Amino acid sequence: MASAGLQLVGYFLALAGWVATICASALPQWKQSSYAGDAIITAVGLYEGLWMTCASQSTGQVQCKLHESLLSLDVHLQTSRALMVVSILMGFVGLIVGVIGMKCTKVVDENPVTKSWIAVLGGVFFVLAGLCTMTAVSWYAARVTVEFFNPTTPVNARWNTGPSLFVGWSAASLVLLGGSFLSCSCPRPEDRGQQYYRQAQPSTAREYV
């Protein structure tokens, strides 16, 4: 059975990754103008995210516009949106379930085996959330890379990967690592045997012990 310290480290790693996942989803810098070619106006920088497109001027003024039509968006953008939303929801469920299953809390404290399995379930939710984030970010980055090296794409219309993708990769790594630590809370066979022995004892014997 995993120690309370390992559970605590895993939980806070997953928590930090979950917060970073929210930040990566909200930030608009999933891809940015590449400034490739000779006839490029560098006074305006273009950024695009899951929810909006922004233009940053050299004076520091930033103007953003939300994506108006969902049906007009590319498939990879819609899929990345859905995966990030699912990741955030799964991470939230993992936070609640993980707190219940950790040794440092008093919930379900009378049944250590069940409590350990609840912690494992929380870790599984975190691992699934991390996989969703990793899939969304990697797919989006692969699509931007393919379009950049596509010969039919105009040089002045090419995009680079933005900093939000690196935030997303870091977030997915933290959530996966934290979920893996929590998943190490599986009860050992001897712990299960002790639990079943306690449940099989008569009430008078338990009181005497």
In a domain, 53, yes or no: no
Is residue 52, in this structure, part of any structural domain at all? no
- Could you tell me if residue 19 is inside a domain? yes
Q: What are phi and psi of 54, to 5 degrees?
A: -125, 150
Give pLDDT tens digits for 95-132: 999 999 888 878 777 788 888 889 899 999 999 999 99
| CATH code where residue 146 lies | 1.20.140.150
User: pLDDT tens digits, residue range 53-68?
Assistant: 898 877 778 888 888 7
Task: Confirm if 123 and 176 have CB atoms less than 8 A apart.
Answer: no
Residue 17 lies in a domain: yes
Mark 31-48 as b/e (b = at least 16 C-beta within 10 Å).
Answer: bbbbeeeeeeeeeebebb
Do residues 90 and 125 lie in contact, with contact meaning Cβ atoms separated by under 8 Å?
Answer: yes
In-domain check, residue 185: yes
Q: Is residue 153 part of a domain?
A: yes
Confidence at residue 155, expressed as pLDDT on a 0 to 100 scale: 72
Choice between 104 and 22, residue whose per-residue pLDDT is larger: 22
Query: Could you tell me the pTM of the whole model?
Result: 0.82
Please tell me the total count of domains within the chain.
Answer: 1
pLDDT, tens digit, 9 for 90 and up, residues 143-159: 999 988 888 777 777 88
- Asked if the structure places residue 41 within a domain, the reply is no
The reply to whether 152 falls in a domain is: yes
Residue 78 belongs to what domain range? Answer: 4-28+73-208
